[in-house]
Amino acid sequence: MAGELKIESVPISRRDSFNARDKHTRDLKPFNSGDIKVLLLENVSPKAVDILKRAGYQVDFYTKALDKETLIEKIKDVHAVGIRSKTKLTEEVLSHASKLLTIGCFCIGTNQVDLAYAASRGICVFNSPFSNSRSVAELVIAEIILLARQLGDRSREMHDGVWNKVSKNCYEIRGKTLGIVGYGHIGTQLSVLAESLGMHVIWYDILPVMPIGMSKAAETLDEVLAEADFVSCHVPETPETKNMIGARELAVMKKGSYLINASRGTVVDIEALAAALKSGHLAGAAVDVYPSEPLANGPGFESALRNCPNTLLTPHIGGSTEEAQRMIGIEVATAITKFVDSGTSINAVNFAECDLRAIPSTDRTTARIVNVHQNVPGVLRQINNILANYNVNKQISDSKGDVAYFMADVTVQNQEDITTIYEKIKEIQENIITRVLF
């Protein structure tokens, strides 16, 4: 699909009436949309499956992540892949994805995808930047209270048949200080909820962000660590955040304080955290994410944190609520269909964001040329030389780093015009992907 144009034996006028759903605008489609194959992994919402099937795509759905070999085999044949946080789309994996046009991350984090390599191959990546933020913030609030009251340990004892009524080292959270590391979508939601429960909030971020409510920005990470009773991490996985909470940082935290990590497993040094819990320096921890996570549900989870005192371990469920998964499913599946069918890259993570206004339903002669190319001088001149023989109704071009994205709506008389334009643009040396939508 990405490299070749297959023209159906359907006349242009019939395709038009097949695809028109809105009487004012024409629905565009890739020429061979019935052949569009989507691989959906990690149990994404049924809402996403519905949307993709309604777009006419073939959907291959899995509840779990695939091992690398199976993933490589499956990805060779698909035009879109949908994942959550576990599937690693590395350069090695993506180098086999010769037909892939787009990746949908049905989550916030995109660290599991080699974004730059994907862009260099013309693969546009989408995510859902805030649909599960509230779910994570609510989980963290619950964990703060559970940790303060040692509820994990009490519940486990009761299940083991042990009655252990204690109040020593159990606290209210009212008046305590929450330290938030990473004051973005989740950090700010958490800040609002924590203040509503009577907590003081101090936070650290590398960006200048507006403090919400009465919260206080700290100059340094250490200031947050030294002042807070509870520290909660909400940073993305980047080279800078790898092990940003290690033995030194844990030692800076107050004796008897608590650590919560529902960001990425690489942010906290797990061995150092286990040592701080066992020594009693920390009074407890809640961890939702791990440096290495199993591909599927089931027994066999190993971690140095298992059986540490007052330690809540959850299987990466921060964003796992019905509400969040439904919203993410709709948002990401819609972004995939818009990109595949009409070229729209709005809200892309690794691509310049481009859109063209819809084509009126009365217009039966406009084809949309979509092109990804290397961002070097002279390519637009070459494309426009090719289009010079046609009426270009509108066009847009933008770039991000080394990759540029171009779309043009061109008046064509017949399928031969489309084939000519497509073949000539594809011959441009800097071409990465060219598609025609009609």
Ligand X SMILES: NC(=O)C1=CN([C@@H]2O[C@H](COP(=O)(O)OP(=O)(O)OC[C@H]3O[C@@H](n4cnc5c(N)ncnc54)[C@H](O)[C@@H]3O)[C@@H](O)[C@H]2O)C=CC1
Say which entry of ligand AKG, ligand X, none residue 187 contacts (CB below 5 to 8 A, set by partner kind). Answer: ligand X
Say which entry of ligand X, ligand AKG, none residue 74 contacts (CB below 5 to 8 A, set by partner kind). Answer: none
DSSP 201-254: EEEE-SS--PPPTT-EE-SSHHHHHHH-SEEEE-----TTTTTSB-HHHHHHSP
Q: Within a 10 A sphere around the Cβ of 48, how many other Cβ atoms? A: 26
Number of residues this chain uses to bind ligand X (CB under 6 A) = 32
DSSP 347-377: TBSSS-----PPEETT--SEEEEEEEEE--T
Task: Indicate whether 266 belongs to the interface with ligand AKG (CB under 6 A).
Answer: no
For residues 343 and 355, what is the distance between their CA atoms, to the nearest angstrom?
7
Q: Which of 132, 150, 257, 266 binds ligand AKG (CB under 6 A)?
A: 132
Residues 78-107 that bind ligand X (CB under 6 A): none
Q: CB of residue 269 vs ligand X: minimum separation in angstroms? A: 15
Q: CB of residue 266 vs ligand AKG: minimum separation in angstroms? A: 12
Is 176 or 316 the residue whose CB approaches ligand X more closely? 316
For residues 198 and 332, what is the distance between their CA atoms, to the nearest angstrom?
36
- Residue 398: closest CA among 344, 437, 436, 435: 344
Say which entry of ligand X, ligand AKG, none residue 84 contacts (CB below 5 to 8 A, set by partner kind). Answer: ligand AKG
Q: Over the range 120-141, which residues count as b (16 or more CB within 10 Å of their CB) and which as e?
A: bbbbbbbbbbbbbbbbbbbbbb
- Please say if 293 is a catalytic residue: yes
Instruction: Find the part of the chain contacting ligand AKG (CB under 6 A) among 18-26, 105-113, 149-157, 274-282.
Output: 105-113
* Biggest distance spanned by C-alpha atoms of the chain: 84
Q: Which of 128, 131, 177, 263 binds ligand X (CB under 6 A)?
A: 263
Q: CB of residue 139 vs ligand AKG: minimum separation in angstroms? A: 11
Say which residue the tokens 């359907």 belong to. Answer: 10
Say which entry of ligand X, ligand AKG, none residue 205 contacts (CB below 5 to 8 A, set by partner kind). Answer: ligand X
Three-point CA angle 249, 250, 253, nearest 5°: 90
Residue type, 402: D
Task: Indicate whether 179 belongs to the interface with ligand AKG (CB under 6 A).
Answer: no
Q: CB of residue 359 vs ligand AKG: minimum separation in angstroms? A: 35
Task: Indicate whether 109 belongs to the interface with ligand AKG (CB under 6 A).
Answer: yes
Q: Which of 26, 47, 84, 373 binds ligand AKG (CB under 6 A)?
A: 84
Residues 314-333 that bind ligand AKG (CB under 6 A): 319-320
Three-point CA angle 287, 291, 295, nearest 5°: 95
Residues 155-184 that bind ligand X (CB under 6 A): 181-184
For residues 200 and 222, what is the distance between their CA atoms, to the nearest angstrom?
17
Catalytic pick among 73, 172, 293, 416: 293
Is 218 or 328 the residue whose CB approaches ligand AKG more closely? 328
DSSP 79-148: SEEEE-SS--B-HHHHTT-TT--EEEESSS--TTB-HHHHHHTT-EEE--SSTTHHHHHHHHHHHHHHHH
Number of residues this chain uses to bind ligand AKG (CB under 6 A) = 8
Catalytic pick among 316, 368, 373, 435: 316
- Please say if 248 is a catalytic residue: no
Residue type, 113: V
Q: Which residues contact 372 (CB under 8 A, 6 or more apart)?
A: 122, 351, 403, 404, 405, 406, 431, 432, 433, 434
Task: Indicate whether 316 belongs to the interface with ligand X (CB under 6 A).
Answer: yes
- Please say if 357 is a catalytic residue: no
Is 282 or 286 the residue whose CB approaches ligand AKG more closely? 286
Query: Annotated catalytic sites, by residue?
Result: 264, 293, 316
Residues of the shown chain interacting with ligand AKG in the complex, contacts defined by CB under 6 A: 84-85, 107-109, 132, 319-320
Residues of the shown chain interacting with ligand X in the complex, contacts defined by CB under 6 A: 108-109, 132-133, 136, 181-187, 204-207, 209, 234-238, 240-241, 262-264, 288-289, 316, 318-319
